[in-house]
Amino acid sequence: MSSPLFLGLDIGTSGCRVIAIDKENSLIARHTVDLPAPVQTGDAIEQDPEIWWQAVVQVLRQLLTDIDPVRIKAMAVDATSGTVLLCDADGRPLHPALMYNDARAEEEAALIRKIAPPEAAAATAASGGLAKLLWLQKQSFAKNARYFLHQADWITGQLSGRFGVSDFNNCLKSGYDAQNQCWPQWLDALGVKRDWLPQVNYPGNPIGSASGERLRLKPYRAELRVNKDGLIVAGSTDSTAAFLATGANQPGDAVTALGSTLVLKIISRQPVAAADYGIYSQPLPNLDGGNAAPLRWLCGGASNSGGAVLRQYFSDAQMAQMQARLEPEKPTGLDYYPLPRSGERFPVNDPELPPRLTPRPGDDLKFFQGILESLARIEKEGYDRLQQIGAPTPARIYTTGGGSQNPGWREIRERLMQIPVLNAPQTEAAFGAALLARRGWRQHKMMETR
């Protein structure tokens, strides 16, 4: 009998990725298909959802040349929660999707900030799902709407044939109260069309119908040779799936991502929030747990500092050459606050905070190390800030993003933090989604044996 496989499908900004893992979480196959850039006109940033689906079809076709479709037992999808659309009763999009960084809904975001509780993750910028929902309700095509869906929801509907289902993580910035597991009453003061809102599932749970039947994968026309008995499992956001991929799974486990910005996240037993610093919490799926209410929370914040500042001064080739010559045991003494432009929210809240990158020494290597040391200090201040509002003390920190390739920066951070700083063995969101698919299959098997 063929051993089971579990698929994670990640719809990113630049590409669509699929990963297959086995019961031991070993990576069996991986494929990627590029996506074109969204269309931008001022604050409007859109993309035709059919582009995503054709990429899904293409990447699954590639995968199915490597594995037997019969082995696929479950699939989960992750994507960016801020990418949303309205669909009709048959799941047909009524307009180009609003991408995660579409910023047209500023007026709606201002209204939300007046009405939503300050700890609500939906009380954010115009790029949040709830602000976009309010904007979409005003458009002429909204008269034919039946579903408000996030990007991952629509792909899940395409795969299963059932629309109107989502998960805690994708719905968080659309107004969902994950702590009380409901769409809260304060949404009514905003005029939200509740009948458009999706049914919300715990990430990693098999998605069920109203009759209790588990949703299955369905072949889409003649384009996919999928196992029709494979389960559809509730997915997550791309960032949460990437966190799961690292292996962090205990309260106090933290992940620092150094990409264009510096993003910190830590597992907590209790949700914490501080709107002034952009800190909020979302449920973290327990990969070994059952249907109980979430007992673990993922809280964090994002600094405007990060890799974008480094690229203002150095090319990738220059940084690769210099990182081998870093001397973590010899601090530079340089005290910078590296920002790409004025303004910071976390770990300090100062919209006028200017970049501080002087004095600049004549030695580029010393300047490079000074910036890295300053990034490490911002990271430490960020975890200190999270502790101040109730998050646990970091026990160990996993590293993802471009910074994970820099062992000198890791040593600088470890000397400052005085805790283990580790490179994550896996960092791809698709891998985290595959772990959710495996969780859903295991849960389903346990239910069958009762």
* pTM, full prediction: 0.88
Q: CB under 8 Å to 363, separation ≥6 — which residues?
A: none
Number of Cβ within a 10 Å radius of residue 121: 26
**The pLDDT of residue 126:** 72
Residue in 337, 320, 334 with CA at minimum distance from that of residue 402: 320
**The pLDDT of residue 210:** 42
Amino acid at 199: Q
- Per the CB < 8 A criterion, the answer to whether 101 and 43 are in contact is no
Find the angle CA(271)-CA(13)-CA(431) to the nearest 5 degrees. Answer: 60
Tokens read off for 345: 């929210």
pLDDT tens, position by position, 185-243 = 999 999 999 999 999 999 998 886 444 455 566 655 445 666 667 889 999 999 899 99
Task: Measure the CA–CA gap between 374 and 79, rounded to whole angstroms.
Answer: 32
Sign for the CA dihedral angle at 292, 297, 298, 301 comes to: positive
**The pLDDT of residue 179:** 87
Question: In what order do the strands lie in the sheet containing 5-11?
Answer: 27-34, 15-21, 5-11, 72-79, 231-237
Tokens read off for 44: 């409007």
Answer left, alpha or beta for residue 276, where phi above 0 means left and psi between -120 and 50 means alpha. Answer: alpha
Q: CB under 8 Å to 68, separation ≥6 — which residues?
A: 2
Sign for the CA dihedral angle at 428, 165, 99, 155 comes to: positive
- The residue count for the chain: 450
What element of type H or E holds 148? strand 147-150
**The pLDDT of residue 355:** 96
Find the angle CA(295)-CA(429)-CA(233) to the nearest 5 degrees. Answer: 60
**The pLDDT of residue 294:** 53
**In 44-98, which residue ranges form alpha helices assigned H by DSSP?**
49-63
Delineate the domains of the chain, giving CATH numbers in brackets: 5-241+429-449 (3.30.420.40), 247-423 (3.30.420.40)
**The pLDDT of residue 104:** 93
What DSSP state is assigned to residue 95?
Answer: S
Q: Which residues of the chain have pLDDT under 70?
A: 1, 124-125, 208-228, 289-295, 448-450
pLDDT tens, position by position, 408-450 = 999 999 999 999 999 888 989 999 999 999 999 988 887 766 5
What element of type H or E holds 422? strand 421-423
Residue in 243, 246, 247, 234 with CA at minimum distance from that of residue 281: 243
Helix (H, G, I), strand (E, B) or coil at 423: strand
**The pLDDT of residue 207:** 85
Q: CB under 8 Å to 211, separation ≥6 — which residues?
A: none
Q: How far apart are the first and last CA of the chain?
A: 23
**The pLDDT of residue 212:** 47
Q: Counting runs of H as helices and runs of E as strands, what totals does the chain give? A: 11, 18
**The pLDDT of residue 44:** 94
**The pLDDT of residue 280:** 86
Number of Cβ within a 10 Å radius of residue 334: 18
Widest distance between CA atoms in the chain: 71
